Every structure is written in structure tokens, then in C-alpha cells.
Amino acid sequence: MPPRSIPDRWLDYSPMGRQMEGTRFISFKVPLKVGICSNLPSEDSFTVPDMIQGISDQGGRLGLVIDLTFTTRYYNKQDIIKAGIKYEKIFTAGKEVPSDDVVQEFASIVHNFETENKDDSLIGVHCTHGVNRTGYLVCRYLIDYKHFTAEKAIAAFNKARGHDLERENYLEHLQQRSALVQSGEVKPPKLPLPRKQGPTRERDQPPSRERRYAPYDQRRRDRHRSGGSSSQQEQPSAPCLHSIMGWTLGVVLLGYSLYNHWYMQGVMEEWIQEHMTQIFSSRCSIT
């Protein structure tokens, strides 16, 4: 995707929803740099200042932004920090259910913010469209720690965002999780959780696209680079194998050459000794 292009289907979603009833969450799609929005009609533009102003127009005050996108290219986080808003980054791959590392990181950030800030300032959460990854993690937090059922959490999110959480694997997983928590079969980890210094943290670069779907809970790299769940060893790359094969072949050829050299040297010595003996014997007989 060209660096100045808007994300796929970004224009299909409204900029932001409203505060979720009974929570401090508000969800929105990713705001873009002014340069990316420069070719858009003014009504389609959505930048960091637009986001902050939009929440203010609703009578809210943003205290924290949790960025779930899998890149840092869409906007400058300093635009949020300079506005006096806390910023947290959790690199979250799309389409697949977020890993336990991501879920726990999200829960820790939300819990710590709510504990340290009793002023009802809002927690803004966004992925690319502010719907699927955002909806899953918000609903998962409400199910695990706020005694919401999956139905109640999903309905509240859909109503507030104005777009429905649509990925079937996310919806099914939330339903399954809710059943386990409600039955007492599973107890979510107690908060606060230790902060992990892994790939989910803002200071890290996101995993490469080739590795993004390895277990992070799942990611081969870091992993999830995160002290995550993958224990697989990286296999040597093709160039590395070629180098090893080349060196091995070279050593074999060198050994073969030395063997031939030493062998032929021995043959020549035997030939010289034999013929010198014959010559010496012939001279002796003549004498």
C-alpha cells in the first residue's frame, strides 16, 4: 500500500461511534495524517484533531488512546501525546482472533488507566476500521472483567459504534469465552498483570508480514516475540544453506586434490627408486 494512500475500505466506515453505555470506551477508525487526507473531500477527512474535536463535541474528554493497528504509518502518536492524551500501542494482526498476549496487554492497560484516572475520561480504541479487532478486545474485556455476557457486550458495542462486529471467528470466540467465564470453568487472570516487553509494546516494530500469523500466542518471531508461545527454531535461509553446501564441496575437492597429490608423489618416488636401482644394477654388471 503506498505510504500516502488511505486504508482499504476506510471510507466505508463512519469516523467514530459514541461512548458505550456503562463503560468508558469509545471506538473509532484510525485517524490519518493530514497529508494522507489532503486529497479527500473535507467531509471524509479524519485526522487526530478531528478525532479529539469529535469526542469533545459529544461532551466527552479523551484520556487514553489504544492503537491496535499493525503499523505506525497512519499518524504521528506525538499529535495525541501533545494534546495531553495518553497513548498505548498494541500491534494486533487482523482477521485472526487476538492472542492471549494481546488480550492480557489490553486488559492491563485498561485496568491501570481506570485505576489511576477516576475522572471518567474516555478510553478511545481503534484498529483500521474501529470495528473487528476493536470490538473483539473491548467485548473480551467486558466479558472477562465486567460481568458482561457475550450478547450484552456485542450488542452494546454494535449500538455505540454504529457498525456491527462482523467477523464470524471473533463472534464465535466471544460466545465460547462468555460461556466458560459464566460457568466458572475459566477464571480470567487477576488484574493488574505484569507488563510484558514483547512485540505488542509500542516501542517495538511490528513483526514482518511473513511472520505475522505464526503463533503469538502465536508468532514465530518474538513471539509472538513476546516471550510468546512459539518455540519453533528458525530454519536456515536458502542463501545460508547454499553457503554451507559451497564450503562443504570446496573442502571435499581440496581433500581430493591433496590425496591425489600425495598419492602421485608416492607413485613417482617408487618409480624413481625402481629405475635408479635398475640403472645402478646395469652399470655394475657392465663393470
Active site residues: 127, 133
Share in percent of the chain as helix, strand, coil (round to 5): 45, 10, 45
What is the C-alpha to C-alpha distance for residues 94 and 214, in angstroms, rounded to an integer? Answer: 13
Decide: 159 and 121 in contact? Cβ < 8 Å: no
Please choose, from the candidates 113, 112, 49, the residue with its C-alpha nearest in 3D space to the C-alpha of residue 82: 49
Q: Which helix (H) or strand (E) holds 249?
A: helix 238-286
What is the C-alpha to C-alpha distance for residues 142 and 150, in angstroms, rounded to an integer? Answer: 9
Residue with cell 455505540: 160
